[in-house]
Structure 1
Amino acid sequence: MNLAKSSILIFSARVCKAAIGFLAVTVFSRELGASPLGTYYPFLALLGIIGLPANLGIRQATKKRISEGNDKSAYLGTGLILKSAIVFAISGILWFSGTYINKFLGANLAQLVVITLIIDQLGRFSISILHGELRVGETAILEVIRPLSWLVVGYFLYLRGYGVYALVYGYLVGTILASMVGWWKVSVSIGRPTVEHARSLFDYARFSAISSVGGYFYSWTDVGILTLFVVWGIGVTRADIGAYENAWRLSLVTMLFGKSIATALFPQISRWDADDATDRIESAIPTALLPSLLLVIPAFVGTLILSKDLLRILFGPEFTVAWLALIVLAAGKIPQSLHTLLSRSLNAIDYPDLAAYAAISSALLNMIFNIVLIWQFGIVGAAIATVGSFMINTILHAHYLNQFLDIELPLREAIWSVVASAAMGIGVYGARLMIELNSIIQLLAIIVLGVIIYTVAILTYSPIRLEAQRTLRPLLTELVS
């Protein structure tokens, strides 16, 4: 597997995914307003949270075992049986809990939750299999299908008066298409399930299930608890949820490259670990961390200056209530950029138990922080709770990983990025004082100015310039060949 090429393919796909997703969010935000999104986002949150027991780590365990290269068909067949049994059992429970689900969502969506959950879980399983086959780059197209369907189908149904149901049906159609394409691409045949392979999957999954809690909890626990406060009538509205989740999605843009690298790196580190190539793992991780850090630091500085303008111009004045939450969430992407790779690396070297301890500890803190801080500060409290617990999670992962690998963080390069970001911030703030931002074109112009200033400043530091040349030259050669 060509790591650089796989990373750039996934990154390109996720850029397209983000662009299409933001176009959809922008269109639906302006057309529907924040309140309908305050129903749609809890729908996604419920899918994400229910996905934890519906998965139980089987997806990650199957990916891990297939990436090791032995008994691929048997592991696929066993994993598929285990996965299907769990998903359908959870779906049955949900089916009989429809009244409570509808009350939570504020709309009659319980049956759609069940249908979407089944298709989504099976579709994500196909992606894990492709990752295990070291075919990460081939999953790039799947990153685009769902948001594109959400935009096209959702907008078509919105024009016909379906309201919030247009968003849900658009998401469901995208989920169906992504699942179909994913399974069509899988090349491993489905082998006969065995008890031995089931034990092997459970040995890994019991800890992987817990470590995967971290990602879902940080993505959806805040929205879930905010929704409960709405149901209970305590200080939060569905419009607040819509504004908060839009701010969260806006902050995620800076994580695209880091997540792409981590996604591509997991199966490769797993293979290196099976071959005892520790030195290759130790040299790959710091190199992989650097590009992500070089993006999230200036993004935070830019958000600090342009937070209100970003929300107002992209989504509408109703969404500026989340401007301070956006700044906090953008700051949180700095430790999250480290966590994404550290967590994948710890699982890849076959220590899901340690990743699980870190994840469950910080997830519990995240829940407690959210309840207390949302009660006191609303959506800003949700942002502070999420970022604070994520910092703890990152520190724990770094501590555990350093017990087995000698990892040196690129601190000098990060410090220079802070200096370059400060220079960019001065330029952007000065331009902001001179220009009254009222359109997307003006906003983009100031962002482009910031990018130019930052790029020039960061490349004046020779180690970063040389590393960029060393990385990009073979990558460009490979891509054009």
Structure 2
Amino acid sequence: MAVGSLLTVILARLLNPTGYGLLFLAITIFNIASIFSRFGVAKSSARYIAEYKEKNSDQIPHIIHYSLSLNILTSLIIGGIFLVGDTSIATLLDEPKLADLLLLGPPFIILYTLMDYSRTIFQGFEDIHSAALIRILERVIKFGAIVILVAFGYGATGAIVGYIIGYFCSSAFGLGYLYYTYYRKYSRSTTMEKGLQRRIAEYSFPVTLTNSADKVEKQMDVLIVGFLLDPAAVGFYVLGKQLMQFISVPVSALGFVISPTLGNKKANDDLSGGSSIYRISLSNSLLIYVPAAAGLFLLAEPGVLIVFGDEYLGAVPILQVFSVYIILRSITHISSNGLDYLGRAKTRAITKSITAVLNMLLTVILVIEFGVIGAAIATVLTFSLYTFVVIYVVKSEFGLDIMDLLKEVSKMIPATLLMSIIVYYMAGMIDGIYSLLSVIVFGIVIYLLASIGTGALKLDNLTQIIKSLITS
């Protein structure tokens, strides 16, 4: 998270809003294309690995071999499209400078697909440390390569090459480590279980549909902004979305960890255990993200001005709208991925598809009416609907008591209000990075003290958290 946040700041400083917008317009196109290069194969295989490693482990090598071969094939096909379609895509978006960046699509897509594959398979084994190591390796190498290339004047092209270098190193490590730690570990049966290939392929379809809808919802709005407005508007909008993604990293990591565990609890009919894990994870996440959203709304303007410069002040209202999005993402990161491991990928896919289409329609309407801030409003409205459905599905799977959860969440509201009032009056005193950090730290202290006072946060729990952080 730290490396990603720092990279955003450096890129925004080294590239102007137009260059920044062009860079992430190209990356958005690559991300959409990667839906079809990944094809849900890794997530589907991870689901069956989580199931078979306990009862029929001699099928594990077959699952890995089949799924990896399939993903290599799909990534080569989709990556090859950019060798002939770069100019057409740039012409469609009326951005001629985009064509040169799109030529780097094949290695970007192929290597990203392989990196994501290895990380997802480790998740299926519940080997979260290895999955995290792949992500850390990718982020750190990517950061170093991008900063060097952009600083030496290679601009957006250098930045994309930096992404490719990061994906190459992390995918090579991930696949090699997967081979030595798991592929060779399990004895292989003579043949793959009859029907297993078909089941993996079939389950990949709803996963692909979900990923497609998710990417449409997260990426298509960027293309719409680029088509209807200009690269500078894309730069403001992408900056806001990237900051949301970085802020969401802790809860995303938590959701990544508990998803296969929730699947195991359901498979073993331990509904109370699954409900307890989900409730504790969600309530503790909201304990962090509700005040974080309030702080972001109040400090967006001085924060953007001090960290990114006055060129990016157009991103301030987008960040303020996205402060609601932070809370919604904290809920769905805990809830959403777990549905794939609960066998509810189809339900998730249908819901995601509906909200993705609604998001596209609303984005077009609201961008025409309100400009780039309309895209942010459309995202929040449609994501709210998706969040509601996801919570309902988890409730139906584990018999979750919503009223108990709401009671726990309501305890943090008074502390958040007190912190917000104090931060609001202190915001006028901010004149530099040190005063900004001072207000943030002071707001956190006020919130912690008030949360302990209202019972939202137990002092013993806070002590344990601090000890865990120091130990780790």
What is the aligned partner in structure 1 of residue 443 from structure 2? 450
Please state whether the residue corresponding to 2:248 is helix, strand or coil: helix
1:412 to 398, 407, 416: 407
CA 1:264–1:290: 2 relative to 1, 3 Å: same
Please state whether the residue corresponding to 1:201 is helix, strand or coil: helix
1:121 to 113, 137, 141: 113
What is the aligned partner in structure 1 of residue 74 from structure 2? 86
| Cα pair 1:101 1:109 within 8 Å, conserved | no
CA 1:297–1:332: 2 relative to 1, 3 Å: same
- Deviations 1:388-407, CA, capped at 9 Å, x for gaps: 11001111112223222211
| Cα pair 1:49 1:217 within 8 Å, conserved | yes
Paired with 2:249 and 2:5, the residues of 1 have a C-alpha distance of 13
Paired with 2:339 and 2:144, the residues of 1 have a C-alpha distance of 39
What is the aligned partner in structure 1 of residue 212 from structure 2? 213
Instruction: Give the Å deviation of 1:90.
Output: 1.7
Instruction: Give the Å deviation of 1:22.
Output: 2.0
Q: What is the identity, as a one-letter code, of the residue corresponding to 1:29? A: A
Structure 1's unaligned 5+ residue stretches are: 1-17, 230-235
What is the aligned partner in structure 1 of residue 128 from structure 2? 136
Q: After the TM superposition, which residues 29-68 of structure 1 pair with which residues of structure 2 at under 5 Å, given as runs?
A: 29-68=12-51
Percent identical among aligned pairs is 22
Paired with 1:24 and 1:473, the residues of 2 have a C-alpha distance of 27
Paired with 2:281 and 2:411, the residues of 1 have a C-alpha distance of 17
Instruction: Give the Å deviation of 1:475.
Output: 5.5
Q: After the TM superposition, which residues 65-80 of structure 1 pair with which residues of structure 2 at under 5 Å, given as runs?
A: 65-68=48-51, 69=53, 70=56, 71-80=59-68
Residue 203 in structure 1 maps to residue 186 in structure 2: no
What is the aligned partner in structure 2 of residue 428 from structure 1? 423
Q: What is the identity, as a one-letter code, of the residue corresponding to 2:279? A: P
Structure 2's unaligned 5+ residue stretches are: none
Instruction: Give the Å deviation of 1:247.
Output: 1.6
- Deviations 1:108-147, CA, capped at 9 Å, x for gaps: 0222111110011011100011111110122222223333
Instruction: Give the Å deviation of 1:313.
Output: 1.0
Please state whether the residue corresponding to 2:396 is helix, strand or coil: coil
Paired with 1:101 and 1:114, the residues of 2 have a C-alpha distance of 14
Instruction: Give the Å deviation of 1:310.
Output: 1.3
TM-score of the pair, normalised by structure 2: 0.90
Q: What is the identity, as a one-letter code, of the residue corresponding to 1:55? A: R
Paired with 1:471 and 1:281, the residues of 2 have a C-alpha distance of 23
Instruction: Give the Å deviation of 1:472.
Output: 4.1
| Cα pair 2:146 2:161 within 8 Å, conserved | yes
| Cα pair 1:81 1:193 within 8 Å, conserved | no
| Cα pair 1:54 1:87 within 8 Å, conserved | yes
Please state whether the residue corresponding to 1:464 is helix, strand or coil: coil
Instruction: Give the Å deviation of 1:426.
Output: 1.2
| Cα pair 1:336 1:391 within 8 Å, conserved | no
Paired with 1:149 and 1:39, the residues of 2 have a C-alpha distance of 22
| Cα pair 2:262 2:274 within 8 Å, conserved | yes
Instruction: Give the Å deviation of 1:431.
Output: 1.5
Residue 320 in structure 1 maps to residue 313 in structure 2: yes
CA 1:177–1:331: 2 relative to 1, 3 Å: same
Residue 284 in structure 1 maps to residue 277 in structure 2: yes
Paired with 1:472 and 1:22, the residues of 2 have a C-alpha distance of 23
Instruction: Give the Å deviation of 1:256.
Output: 2.1
Paired with 2:466 and 2:104, the residues of 1 have a C-alpha distance of 48
| Cα pair 2:427 2:439 within 8 Å, conserved | yes
Instruction: Give the Å deviation of 1:196.
Output: 2.3
| Cα pair 1:136 1:264 within 8 Å, conserved | yes
CA 1:93–1:422: 2 relative to 1, 3 Å: same
Q: What is the identity, as a one-letter code, of the residue corresponding to 1:417? A: M
CA 1:327–1:476: 2 relative to 1, 3 Å: closer
Paired with 1:254 and 1:130, the residues of 2 have a C-alpha distance of 24
CA 1:476–1:116: 2 relative to 1, 3 Å: closer
- Deviations 1:378-424, CA, capped at 9 Å, x for gaps: 21001011111100111111222322221134212322222111111
Residue 149 in structure 1 maps to residue 141 in structure 2: yes
Paired with 1:179 and 1:66, the residues of 2 have a C-alpha distance of 20
CA 1:263–1:171: 2 relative to 1, 3 Å: same
Paired with 1:80 and 1:140, the residues of 2 have a C-alpha distance of 20
Aligned residues between the structures: 454
2:164 to 161, 164, 172: 172
| Cα pair 2:214 2:356 within 8 Å, conserved | no
Instruction: Give the Å deviation of 1:193.
Output: 6.2
Residue 403 in structure 1 maps to residue 396 in structure 2: yes
Q: What is the identity, as a one-letter code, of the residue corresponding to 2:457? A: I
Please provide the CA RMSD for this pair: 2.2
CA 1:130–1:334: 2 relative to 1, 3 Å: same
| Cα pair 2:12 2:20 within 8 Å, conserved | yes
- Deviations 1:302-326, CA, capped at 9 Å, x for gaps: 1221111111111110111121111
